[in-house]
């Protein structure tokens, strides 16, 4: 078997192997979902904690101003989705299931808040003696979170995930 580094390796085949079989060649590739879970899980939890620390009534007032129906209920539903969904993603638990309401929150945030401000999430307005001043964020970060959720759904939670343990447990029970 020719390897990529072999002088007798077919260059076309080697390029195809590098391009399409990279995850199979490097065992570390199976760990790729871990940073996604960390970023998405901690990010959602941080947003949930921020809303909780300012008080759910403050977030309900924002939702009311955006004409969201049942703003107090939706405030709590959003906070709990961010906290519990973020924790589930972090642990790799029920990723496909919890991703749906999380994606829903992101889509609502894009349409109701971020869309008028364009794509970029970083809008440097000025640098003063007090520091950098930024304008309102666009929908870029929301799209990145959505992409991470899709990657986790399609590619799996990776190692050290509760979903993997549940899969092994179900196989052992049915064998």
Q: Give the pLDDT confidence of 61-73 residue by residue, as tens digits.
A: 999 999 999 999 9
Measure the CA–CA gap between 139 and 153, rounded to whole angstroms: 21
Q: Residue 151 — very low, low, confident or very high, per pLDDT cuts 50/70/90?
A: very high
Give the helix, strand, coil percentages of the chain, each rounded to 5.
Answer: 70, 5, 25
pLDDT of amino acid 167: 87
**Lowest-confidence region among 2-16, 86-100, 124-138, 153-167:** 2-16
Angle at which helices 140-155 and 33-54 cross, to 10°: 130
On whether residue 87 sits in a domain, the answer given is yes
Provide the b/e sequence for 108-146 (b: ≥16 CB within 10 Å).
bbbeebbeeeeeebeeeeeeeeeeeeeeebbbbbbeebb
Q: Which domain holds residue 147?
A: 32-153
93, part of any domain: yes
| Token couple for 157 | 């939670």
- How many structural domains is the chain composed of? 1
- Mean pLDDT, residues 145-156 taken together: 96
Query: 100 lies in a domain?
Result: yes
Mean pLDDT within 8-16: 71
Q: Give the model's pLDDT for residue 2.
A: 47
Helix (H) / strand (E) element for 12: namely: helix 11-20
Total residue length of the chain: 175
Residue 164 included in any domain: no
Q: Residue 17: its pLDDT value, please?
A: 66
Is 23 within a domain?
A: no
Q: Which of 6-10, 55-59, 113-117 has the lowest mean pLDDT?
A: 6-10
Angle at 150 between CA 112 and CA 43, to 5 degrees: 60
At 132, give phi and psi (nearest 5°): -70, 145
pLDDT at residue 29, as a whole number: 82
Looking at residue 4, its pLDDT comes to 52
Residue 4 lies in a domain: no
Q: Is residue 19 assigned to a domain?
A: no
Q: What are phi and psi of 8, to 5 degrees?
A: -95, 0
pLDDT digits (tens, 9 = 90+) for 15-73: 666 666 666 667 788 899 999 999 999 999 999 999 999 999 999 999 999 999 999 99
Residue 9 predicted with pLDDT over 50: yes
pTM higher than the cut 0.85? no
Residue 52 lies in a domain: yes
* pLDDT of amino acid 7: 63
């Amino acid at each position: 078997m020719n390897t990529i580094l072999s002088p007798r390796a077919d260059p076309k085949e080697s390029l195809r192997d590098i391009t399409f079989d990279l995850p199979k060649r490097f065992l570390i590739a199976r760990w790729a979902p871990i940073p996604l879970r960390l970023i998405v899980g901690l990010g959602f939890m941080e947003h949930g904690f921020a809303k909780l620390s300012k008080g759910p009534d403050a977030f309900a007032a924002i939702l009311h101003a955006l004409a969201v129906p049942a703003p107090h209920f939706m405030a709590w539903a959003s906070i709990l989705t961010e906290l519990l969904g973020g924790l589930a993603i972090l642990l790799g638990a029920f990723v496909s299931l919890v991703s749906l309401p999380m994606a829903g929150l992101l889509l609502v945030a894009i349409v109701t808040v971020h869309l008028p401000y364009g794509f970029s999430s970083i809008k440097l307005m000025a640098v003063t003696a007090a520091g950098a001043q930024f304008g309102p964020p666009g929908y870029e970060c929301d799209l990145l979170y959505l992409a991470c959720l899709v990657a986790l759904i399609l590619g799996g939670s990776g190692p050290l995930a509760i979903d993997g343990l549940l899969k092994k447990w179900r196989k052992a029970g049915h064998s």
